[in-house]
Amino acid sequence: MSFAFVFPGQGSQAVGMLDAWGDHPVVAETLKEASDALGEDVAKLIHEGPKEALALTTNTQPVMLVAGVAAWRVWRAAGGALPAAVAGHSLGEYSALVASGVLTLAQAAPLVRFRAQAMQDAVPVGTGAMAAILGMAADKVREGCAEAQATFPAGSGEVVEAVNFNDPAQTVIAGSKAAVEKACEVLKANGAKRALPLPVSAPFHSSLMKPAAERLKEKLAATVLAAPQIPVFNNIDVAVETDPDRIRDALYRQAFGPVRWVESVQALKARGIATVVECGPGKVLAGMVKRIDADLASAALYDPATLAEVQALLA
């Protein structure tokens, strides 16, 4: 059976999210590797939190990377086969690149922390915002964002854009706080079922992240990338790249460009993939996969019980 592994991004973190693995040696080794690379005790941060500490972007990005890579390594250590392709949602693309062998975990952990800090620095806390728009087609969300932005004078600096295309009825918007609030009003008036403000500290994947992306670009230029051992579908182009410079460029543009998740899942199916396994904490992506295409089988792998389920599903 042809299957793909996908890796979650920010939002799926939880205190104790690796506790179910117990003292699994592969998980322990993964935590040690990340701790050494970051110069801090990542295991303690994940196990004890507090929740507020895990929610800080500079912590969320490294811990989600580590949790996804840990589950991946457990799968492989248990004799799990290589998937036909991998992908990751936003930050999860870095986990996918580690799984594919493009980056080592020791490279990726400091890189995603740098990315997180650059994103946080790009827009002062409280001046940016994101919201999930539910029950409205993506093209209508785009139109509503343009309508909202047009209510502000040119040159005002107010920006709102559709940035995460998560499933056919869920699109996330991001930008400056006033513009996002205005867009929520417009979109609800235009028929969206709900417009939910998201508890995030920056307007990720919007054009306001361009300064962060420029800093990330320099960091990526100094990072040695290996050839992928598994095809990785990137977020920004929904494309599989093998050239290191093109992989770097896609990661650079991903920081201030949209996450095209609906198209990514459709691309996996077009490649002949029948089952998509979410690798890492939670079941957010597994749920999105079913809403994008009910014909695809989906599962989540995040503890010993779900490992057994995925092994049985793919046997």
**38 with 109: CB under 8 angstroms?**
yes
Question: Could you tell me which residues come within 8 angstroms of residue 79 by beta carbon, excluding any fewer than 6 positions away?
Answer: none
Among residues 90, 95, 201, 298, the one annotated as catalytic is 90
**180 with 172: CB under 8 angstroms?**
no
Beginning with the edge strand found earlier in the chain, give each strand of the sheet holding 232-233 in spatial order: 232-233, 85-88, 3-7, 275-279, 297-301
Q: What b/e readout covers 253-272, taking b as 16+ CB neighbours within 10 angstroms?
A: bbbbbbbbbbbbbebbbeee
Question: For this structure, is 205 an active site residue?
Answer: yes
Burial tier of 125 (Cβ tally within 10 Å: 0-12, 13-18, 19+): exposed
Calpha distance 176→179 (Å, rounded): 5
Q: How many CA atoms lie within 13 A of 113 on its CB side?
A: 17
Among residues 205, 206, 264, 298, the one annotated as catalytic is 205
Burial tier of 26 (Cβ tally within 10 Å: 0-12, 13-18, 19+): middle
**15 with 48: CB under 8 angstroms?**
yes
Backbone angles phi and psi of 177, in degrees to 5: -55, -50
Radius of gyration, alpha carbons of the chain:
19
Calpha distance 124→208 (Å, rounded): 11
Q: Which residues are catalytic?
A: 90, 205
